[in-house]
Structure 1
Amino acid sequence: MQRSKTTDKRVLVVGLGRFGSSLATELVDHGWEVLGVDSNPRLVQAYADALTHTVVADSTDDEALRQIGAHEFSRAVVAIGTHLEESILTTSLLVDMGVPHIWAKAISRRHGRILQQIGAHNVVLPEHDMGERVAHLVSGRMLDYVEIEEDFALGKTRAPREIIGRKLGETGIRANHGITVVCIKRHGAQFTYATADTVPQKGDIIIVAGKTERVEKFAELN
């Protein structure tokens, strides 16, 4: 019996290296059924108890993928990174099988573009994204940083002096700095949504959204 997209909590994870195994075990912890696939028997054995199912298979072989039921999954993650040919062939086969949602790991933007061109629905560059994130934290005054897409980011920083004690709606922060304050957190409290009437206090932590360059410059006001 075919499961609906809303109730199907099964994921196929191809590649059980550091990225794939971490993602797969995290999904299991969140209540998902995970079929982990790798051509390396040692890796498959290592995660046999941690994942719902594991199997040794060559993911570049169409027949091997069909034998493990890859075409029956609505979600798949191609976590192969270092072997570009295997990554591309596996993704292409899953696309041809009609898997509706495919995430694929890329090790470079060029690799990512190829994966998108052959039909991957989502491409992630974990090493590149983490390196970029840490670079922003090391070189700036941001407490955290997440790039939503190219040239647009969220930044976590302390409220600068110029907005302290003033309603956000009266600071002209969007016109002056090109960013929007999304959330705010007081010491000992949780984050709450910021509004035009929110009045930041000294020591408050804020999350701002905007063009990457604008977010970086705003964080430097501290």
Structure 2
Amino acid sequence: MPRSKTNDKRVLVIGLGRFGSSLALELVAHNWEVLGMDSSPRLVQAYAESLTHTVVADATDEEALRQIGAQEFTRAVVAIGTHLEESILAASLLVDMGVPHIWAKAVSRRHGRILQQVGVHHVVLPEHDMGERVAHLVSGRMLDYVEIEEGFALGKTRAPREVIGRRLGDTGIRAKYGITVVSIKHHGEQFTYATENTVPQKGDVIVVAGKTDDVERFAEIN
């Protein structure tokens, strides 16, 4: 299948450690075809029956990448984390091959900057991001937290007293706190979109969006 097709659901995952294998298995569960590649025969064997295809190969060897058809993939993930040189070289080779969408795991911001400099389209810092997320949960009143990009976040929290029993459009919380309530979950129900006519009740859970500092401040008002 030509890689220019937007419906190409094939992914090359390089590195089958904890991060790479977890990502690969999740993609397979969502009906993606995954070629898992690692230099360790043990890891490749461990996931041979779970992934669509697996191969033992050196991702820093351009010829090895071409032999497995890396250049034909529309999406590739470099999940090598512990060996920075291998991670950067593998990513650089994929960039040179013209793979349109490349994700790469970074173990530090410096590693991430280098990956961006060689042309990686999406850099993921799983340990840093998870540490930051848990820190917000431990130190505040948020039930969940995710930073969409630097300086902007989504936060899940209990509806504060000042909005309970009132239409969101009448509360003025956007002007007062700089956040927007985007979703709400009433007791015993599923999350649904929030509108200006939504009336939160005691115990409801809401999801708010805004600048990181504003989301944190809003979560503390109870």
TM bracket, shorter-chain basis = over 0.9
Counterpart-to-counterpart distance in 2, 1:221 and 1:102 = 41
Residue identity opposite 2:183 in structure 1: C
Which residue of structure 2 aligns with residue 157 of structure 1? 157
Counterpart-to-counterpart distance in 1, 2:158 and 2:109 = 32
TM norm structure 1 = 0.98
Residue identity opposite 2:15 in structure 1: G
Counterpart-to-counterpart distance in 1, 2:4 and 2:92 = 24
Which residue of structure 1 aligns with residue 124 of structure 2? 124
Which residue of structure 2 aligns with residue 69 of structure 1? 69
Residue identity opposite 2:168 in structure 1: L
- What pairs up with 1:44-83 in 2 under 5 angstroms? 44-83=44-83
Aligned residues of 2:11 and 2:74 also touching (Cα < 8 A): yes
Residues matched between the structures, number = 222
Residue identity opposite 1:141 in structure 2: R
Which residue of structure 1 aligns with residue 194 of structure 2? 194
Aligned-pair CA distance for 1:4: 4.9
Aligned residues of 2:4 and 2:74 also touching (Cα < 8 A): no
Which residue of structure 2 aligns with residue 181 of structure 1? 181
Aligned residues of 2:14 and 2:79 also touching (Cα < 8 A): yes
Q: Secondary structure at the match of 2:201?
A: coil
Which residue of structure 2 aligns with residue 111 of structure 1? 111
Return 5+ residue gaps in structure 2 as ranges: none
Residue identity opposite 2:147 in structure 1: E
Q: Are residue 18 (structure 1) and residue 18 (structure 2) matched?
A: yes
TM norm structure 2 = 0.98
Residue identity opposite 2:206 in structure 1: I
Residues 4-13 or 41-50, more deviating:
4-13
Aligned residues of 2:180 and 2:209 also touching (Cα < 8 A): yes
Residues 190-199 or 75-84, more deviating:
190-199
Aligned-pair CA distance for 1:167: 1.0
Q: Secondary structure at the match of 1:195?
A: coil
Aligned-pair CA distance for 1:5: 2.4
Aligned-pair CA distance for 1:197: 1.2
RMSD over aligned Cα, in angstroms?
A: 0.9
Residue identity opposite 1:192 in structure 2: T
Counterpart-to-counterpart distance in 1, 2:170 and 2:2 = 55
Which residue of structure 2 aligns with residue 85 of structure 1? 85
Counterpart-to-counterpart distance in 2, 1:169 and 1:30 = 38
Give a deviation string over 1:110-155, Cα, whole Å, max 9, x none: 1111111111111111111011111111111100001000111000
Residue identity opposite 1:207 in structure 2: V
Residue identity opposite 1:56 in structure 2: V
Question: Share of identical aligned residues, percent?
Answer: 83
Which residue of structure 2 aligns with residue 144 of structure 1? 144
Counterpart-to-counterpart distance in 2, 1:55 and 1:174 = 52
Give a deviation string over 1:69-100, Cα, whole Å, max 9, x none: 11111100000001000000000000000000
- What pairs up with 1:86-101 in 2 under 5 angstroms? 86-101=86-101
